[in-house]
Structure 1
Amino acid sequence: MIHIFIAEDQTILRDALTSLIHLEADMNVIGQARTGKEVLASPIIQKVDVLLMDIEMPEGTGLETAAKLKDIGFNGKIALLTTFSRAGYIESAMRIGVNGYLLKDEAIEDLVHGIRRVYRGDTVVSQALHQQLFQLQHNPLTEREQQLLSSILIGKTTEMMAKEHFLSIGTVRNYLSTAMQKLQTTNRFEAAQKANEKGWLTS
C-alpha cells in the first residue's frame, strides 16, 4: 500500500484528489495539509511514502517545504503538483531533489500512474512538460544577483540593499547592471519581473 500525504491549500481540490486516490486499490491518503508549515509540523510525515504537494502554498511554498524536508532527512518521495510549468520551477525542483513534477489538470489516470512511478523511485515529469524540460533554460543569475532582484520586487532601494548585504552602493549597481545584461532588459524592475516570471528567484 502506498501511503500518500496531500498538501494543497484549495480545500475542494484537496478533497477531490483524496477521493479519487482512495479509489485506487494500492493507495491510501493518510494525511492532508493546507500550508507548508502544516506539512513540516505533521506528526505522521515520516510515515509517508509519497508527498503530493502544491508548489504554491501559503506559509512555505512547495519548493521551500521540499528543501526543508530534505534537510531534516525525510525518507519519502516528493511530487510537486502544480499549474505552473515554467522552466525555472522545474529546474529548481530537480536541483532540490524532488522526485516528480505533475500538472493539476492532467487526467487522473496519468496522475496516479505518475505517483506509482515516483513511489518506485523514478523521476517523473508530466508528459506535457517533456518538451519544455528538453529546452530548459538554465538560470544565468548568480546567488547575489538573485538576492538583489528579489529585494527589488519587494520595493527595497539601492541604499537599503547595500546596507543589508554589507556592500557599497556602487557594487550593488554593478550587480544589477550585470543582471540586466544577462536578462536583456533595460531597467532593474523589468529584470526583477522577468527573473521572477521564469522562476529564477524561487531558491
Structure 2
Amino acid sequence: MIRVLVADDQALVRGALASMLRLESDLDVVAELGDGTEIVEAVRRTSPDIALLDVQMPGRDGLSVAAELRHAVPGCRVIICTTFSRPGYLTRALDAGAAGFVVKDSPPEQLVDAIRRVHSGLRFIDPALAAQARGLAVNPLTDREADVLRATAEGGSVADIARTVGLSTGTVRNHLVSAIAKTQARTRAEAARLAELNGWL
C-alpha cells in the first residue's frame, strides 16, 4: 500500500481528493489536513510515503513545507497539487524538493499515476505545464526584490514597505527600480502583479 497524506485548505477539495484516492486498491489516505502548520508533525506521526500538498494554505504554504520535509522527513516524497498552472510555481516546487507537480483540473487518473510514479522513485510533472515551462526564463528576481514586491502588493508608501522588509527607503527604491525593469512593468504595482502571475512570489 502507498500511504498518502492530503493537505488542502478547501474542505470540499480535500475530501474529494481523499475519497477518490481511497477508491484505488493500492492507496491508503492516512491523514487529511487543511492548515500548513500541521503538516510536518502529521507526517512524522502518520509516516506517509507521499504528501500531496496544495500551494496556498493557512499558516504555511505547501512550497515551504516541501522544503522542510525534504530535510526533516526525507522518506516522504512530495507532490504539489494546485490550481496554479504557472511555470514559476513549478520551478519553485522543484527547487523545494517536490518530486511531482499536478494541476487540479487534470484527469483523476493522472493524479493517481503521479502518486504511483513518484512512489516508485520517478518524478512527475503535469505534461501541459512542462511544455509551457520549456524555454521560459527562470525567476529573474533576487530574494530581496521579491520581498519588496510582496510588501508592495499589500499597498502603502515606500516608507511603509521599508518598515515591513527592514530596509532603508533608498534601498527599497533601488530594489523596486530593478524589479520593475526585470518584469518589464510600468509601475511597482504592475511589477508585483506580474511577478505573482509568473509564480515568482
What TM-score results when the alignment is normalised by the length of structure 2? Answer: 0.91
* Larger CA deviation: 188-197 vs 39-48: 39-48
CA deviation vs aligned residue, 1:12-57 (integer Å, no higher than 9, x gap): 2222222221222211111110111121332655611001111222
Where in structure 2 are the equivalents of 1:106-121 lying within 5 Å? 106-121=106-121
Partner SS for 2:174 = helix
Can you list the C-alpha shifts for 1:51-80, whole angstroms capped at 9, x where unaligned? 111122222121122123234234211001
Aligned to 1:100: 100
Q: Structure 1: which 5+ runs fail to align?
A: none
Is the 1:53–1:62 contact (alpha carbons within 8 Å) kept by the matching residues of 2?
Answer: yes
Which residue identity does 2:117 align to in structure 1?
A: R
1:169 alignment counterpart: 169
Q: Matched residues in 1 for 2:110 and 2:9: separation?
A: 22
Q: 1 CA distance for matches of 2:164 and 2:35?
A: 29
| Equivalent pairs, count | 201
The 1-side partners of 2:124 and 2:43 are apart by: 27
For residues 127 and 103 of structure 2, the distance between their equivalents in structure 1, rounded to whole angstroms, comes to 9
| Secondary structure at the counterpart of residue 177 of structure 1 | helix
Question: 5 Å matches for 1:104-183?
Answer: 104-163=104-163, 167-183=167-183
2:25: which partner in 1? 25
- 2: distance between equivalents of 1:46 and 1:175? 43
Question: Over aligned residue pairs, what C-alpha RMSD do you find?
Answer: 1.9
Shifted more, 185-194 versus 165-174: the winner is 165-174
Whole-Å separation in 1 of the counterparts to 2:112 and 2:194: 34
Partner in structure 2 of residue 72 of structure 1: 72
How much has 1:166 moved relative to structure 2? 5.3
Distance 1:132 1:56 in 2: 22
- Give the Cα separation in 1 of the matches to 2:157 and 2:71: 33
SS for the counterpart of 2:78 is: strand
Kindly indicate whether the alpha-carbon contact (under 8 Å) linking 2:69 and 2:76 is maintained by their aligned counterparts in 1: no
Matched residue, 1:11? 11
Residue 188 (structure 2) aligns with: 188
> Is 1:61 aligned to 2:61, yes or no?
yes
Task: Return the TM-score normalized by structure 1.
Answer: 0.90
Q: Is the alpha carbon distance of 1:189 and 1:145 closer, same or farther for their aligned partners in structure 2, counting shifts above 3 Å? A: same
Q: Structure 2 regions of 5+ residues with no counterpart?
A: none
Find the counterpart in structure 2 of residue 42 from structure 1.
42
CA distance in 1, matches of 2:117, 2:169: 50
Q: Counterpart of 1:42 in 2: which secondary structure?
A: helix
What CA distance in whole angstroms lies between the structure 2 residues aligned with 1:88 and 1:172? 23
**Cα offset for 1:167?**
4.0
Q: What SS does structure 1 have at the residue aligned with 2:180?
A: helix
Report the AA paired with residue 150 of structure 1.
Answer: R
60-69 vs 99-108, greater mean Cα deviation: 60-69
Q: Is the 8 A contact 1:39 1:45 kept in 2?
A: no
